[in-house]
Amino acid sequence: MAFDFLEPVDVSVLDFVKNLNSQTIGKKTVFHTQDDFPDLNKIKIAIIGVLDNRGGNSGQEVNLKFIRNEFYALYPGNWHATIADLGDIPQGNTQEDTYYAVAKIVAELIKKQIVPIALGGSQDLTYAMYRSYDSLDQMVNLVTLDNRFDFGKDESKNTADSYLSKIIINEPTNLFNYSNLGFQTYYNSQEEIDLIEKLYFDAYRLGEVSSNLSLAEPVFRDSDIVSVDLTSIKSADSGNFVTFTPNGFNGKDICALSRYAGLSDKVSSFGIFNHNNLANESVLIAQIIWYFLEGYNFRSLEYPNLNQNLFLKYIVPVDDIELIFFKSPKTERWWIEIPFISNVNNKLKKNTLLPCTHEDYLRACDQEIPERWWKAQRKNLI
């Protein structure tokens, strides 16, 4: 069974939780202990640690105790979702062994409609989370919060810098779209930036996102996997001075983005990687998790395909194309329809709704085709 790979939560964490206030998150969480494993039929959120850092620069042992202690000492909001801490996946004999265990466990949780929150070492573990969707028979949209694209060529040195290449190249190829939030141009070669354009992927520079966080909401709304690289946060806010990062998201930005990820009805797995075992860094990580859960507990569970009669429909003629928009009267969120083209090799099997913004609709009214619609059309055909 997949869950046999998991080790119980460290006894020191359990002892810490025993002494917490009865209203804290720790007192409302079910733990995997030496004697007991949580009943997953009652769980909506599962926290799992992945103790493998071999894909990163340091290769040091992963210690998640500080994160757990900081998180469980926080107080929950008005939440309904039940949380379980399933313990840790130990480092396998090889990185591939670790990937296998992560993929199996994440797949089992998603099948049970449980959202896993993976806390790990190096970010190449995102590849393992992506591989978990192989058994779920679906195309996958991946969003990373990262200052780099991680297209590195020399996989033997640092797989955390090249895992995206593996996702694109290795079979089976389930990736439909990749979106990067927060890249910093000077950390990425022009070749990588050109490749993002060539594959019709989406990339948003740090300044673009930081100055208007709401543009990230439709990106998360269409995502299955969200992966946070902690080095995308500036060191002054993260407390990480091992890998010094002078520029990046601030603490408020990363928490707001995490809440958007939680709000997305589609996000089914969430990962936080490149933790440096620092107590200071753990404070912000705990708050990132808190905001993801805050968003999750306020999911609206709306999607126009389910009942289009409840949504406002707008048809906008642009040249010889009819763009079809849907707006939710409940949340005022917008979608645009991507039509199915039957006589070509289509990645999608039917008309699909793509999350968009009110500004996309207004631009269409001004006879400007939204870029996200155009990219989705092109990506559908390659």
User: Do 196 and 47 share a structural domain?
Assistant: yes
| Sign of the C-alpha dihedral computed for residues 238, 244, 247 and 248 taken in this order | negative
β-strands 202-205, 321-327: how paired? unpaired
Local confidence band at 152 (pLDDT 50, 70, 90 cut-offs): confident
Report yes or no on 302 lying in a domain. no
Listed in sequence order, the residues at least 6 apart from 46 whose beta carbon sits closer than 8 Å to its beta carbon are 40, 83, 84, 85, 86, 109, 114, 115, 116, 117
pLDDT at 158: 60
CATH code of the domain covering residue 77: 3.40.800.10
Of 251, 266, 296, the last residue of a domain is 296
Q: How confident is the model at residue 175 (pLDDT cuts 50, 70, 90)?
A: very high
- Among 91, 92, 123, 125, smallest CA distance to 106 is for 125
Q: Beta partners for 180?
A: 144, 203
Predicted local confidence at residue 156, as pLDDT: 46
User: In sequence order, which residues have a C-beta less than 8 Å from that of residue 339 and are 6 or more positions away?
Assistant: 351
pLDDT for position 306? 58
pLDDT digits (tens, 9 = 90+) for 294-353: 999 999 988 776 567 789 999 999 988 899 999 999 889 999 998 876 544 455 555 688
Predicted model pTM = 0.94
Helix, strand, coil shares of the chain, percent, nearest 5, are 40, 20, 40
Q: Tell me the mean pLDDT in the region 226-233.
A: 97
CA dist 248 and 376 (Å) reads 28
Please say whether the beta carbons of 16 and 67 come within 8 A. no
331 vs 337: CA distance, rounded Å: 18
Q: Count up the domains in the chain and report the number.
A: 2
Q: What is the pLDDT of residues 101-135, one digit of tens each?
A: 999 999 999 999 999 999 988 999 999 999 999 98
Residue 241 lies in a domain: yes
Q: Residue 375, exposed/middle/buried by CB under 10 A (0-12, 13-18, 19+)?
A: middle
CA angle 57, 60, 63 (to 5 degrees): 125
Instruction: Work out the mean pLDDT of the chain and round it to a whole number.
Output: 91
Give the domain extent around 180.
2-296
pLDDT in tens, 19-59: 999 999 999 999 999 999 999 999 999 999 999 998 876 66
Residues 285 and 364 in one domain: no
